[in-house]
Amino acid sequence: MRTDGNVYSVGQISVYLQRMFRSDYLLHSVYVRGEVSNFKYHVPSGNLYFTLKDASGTLDCMMRVGKAKGGVSFGFQDGSDVIVHGTIGAYTRGSKYELYADGVTPAGAGALYQKYEELKEKLSEMGLFSEVYKKPIPKYIRRLGVVTASTGEAVRDIIHVSKRRNPYIEIILCPCLVQGDGAKESIVKAIETLDHLGDNDPEKKIDTIIVGRGGGSMEDLWAFNEEMVAQAVFDCNTPIISAVGHQGDVVITDYVADLRAATPSQAAELAVFEMKTVDDTLERDRERLEDLMQHRILDARRRCESYGRQLQALSPKEKLKSQRHEIQTAGEKLQRAMEDKLFFCRQQLEIERDLEDAMERKLRDRRQNLQLLAARLDALSPVRRLSGPYGYLETTDGRSIRSAKDIEEGQTLITQMRDGKITSLVQKRELSNE
């Protein structure tokens, strides 16, 4: 091996590589996707250490304390599929390169899961999941509303199970999109349509609504994780059963709905009563009622027979004699009472007649006294005096003149006569010596 050329130390190579990474601006801000492994949290420094891996290789990563606090907002652990942002740099002591991260976000379904958790927490804080607002599912319904796709296993299962349990159930399907663009608006419109179906005609009112679809990925079921769909389920006045996906699928509408069913088939079983069970119950009730009636009839017959024996033990003649005596006594009491009442009425009548006579006498006496007083009053009446050659004087202001001293010369006087009045002027006043 020849060493004629330059020989570099390990440190020199490490520094060179570090400068090379720093000079490549593409590596200053990169996004790398991979699966997290070897996740460690260094307590003294607070730094996060982990490795990103995929089918072709691995990349060591480190996130400092300050970056970690603001850069991770979800469940970050081994196995997470993430997208990491940061700068690629060389670690001189280890002679290796690594990613210095300043932000981590979930990738693919992980992002949807984070959005799901955030909306779930928000709606929970708003009270949309509270049991206080849950409406009871009616036990016996006539009209079942269904919000789902017009084709597929979900609607077929609901119809099949419902008709099997109750052949007379009326199913009203309001078809809608269950995934893709416009799905959330379509679901909301279908719920509102069924909820208001009986506003103008109570006979068309829906008793219970099933909202759901068949299974699928989280992306396929995402329309049922939308806030506007959750709000529509919460605002619906008709009880709603959420039946989205399979047993393990849980969406936001499951928490908001009045009842959750694991599958559309189970939702139909929860919503529709089984007619056979009702028929069996009615048959048992009929049998119990018949037994009860038979028992009461037998009991009534026994009592009638007992009363008959007691009646035969009593003497009918004595019973009739006692009743005749009671009737006779009652008749005599009634006769005496009528005579006493008649006597009392006669006395009242005589008293009333005496009172009328006394009142007549009193009225005649009062009429005579009134006539005498009227005659006296008529004799003293000024009007009667005026009927002769007399009159009476008064001033213009209505004051009566009783003496010559009450007037002055030049004063205007009024003389009232029986058929009119005379206005005169006093020219001279002469007083007598009396």
Cα gap 375→313, rounded to integer Å: 94
CA 90 to CA 21: how far, in whole Å?
7
Q: Which residue has the higher pLDDT, 157 or 249?
A: 157
CATH of 114-273, one of 2.40.50.140, 3.40.50.150, 3.40.50.261, 3.40.50.280: 3.40.50.261
| pTM (predicted TM-score) | 0.50
Q: How far apart are CA 398 and CA 363, in angstroms?
A: 40
Q: How far apart are CA 112 and CA 296, in angstroms?
A: 69
Helices (H), 196-274: 227-235, 252-256, 264-271
Confidence of residue 416 (pLDDT cuts 50, 70, 90): confident
- Spatial distance between the Cα atoms of 383 and 391, rounded to a whole number of angstroms: 9
CA separation, residue 127 to residues 246, 256, 428 (Å): 26, 9, 113
pLDDT in tens, 303-323: 888 887 777 667 676 677 777
Of residues 345, 323, 325, the one with CA closest to residue 333: 325
Residue 328 corresponds to which tokens in the numbers above? 């006779």
How many angstroms separate the CA atoms of 300 and 306, rounded?
10
Looking at residues 42-47, what average pLDDT do you find? 78
3-state helix, strand, coil in the chain (%, to 5): 50, 20, 30
Which one, of 253, 256, 233, 232, lies nearest residue 244 by Cα? 253
Domain limits, the chain: 10-107, 114-273, 285-325, 344-380, 386-425
Q: Which of the residue ranges 91-100, 137-146, 376-385 has the most confident prediction, judged by mean pLDDT? A: 137-146
pLDDT tens per residue across span 375-407:
777 766 666 655 666 677 888 887 888 787 778
Lowest mean pLDDT among 15-19, 35-39, 337-341: 15-19
Domain 10-107 fold = OB fold (Dihydrolipoamide Acetyltransferase, E2P) (2.40.50)
Contact 85, 101 (CB under 8 A): yes
- Token pair of 48 as six digits: 């996060």
How many Å apart are CA 269 and CA 101, to the nearest integer?
52
Please list the residues that pair with 88 across neighbouring strands: 99
Contact assessment for residue 148 and residue 155, using Cβ atoms and an 8 Å cutoff: yes
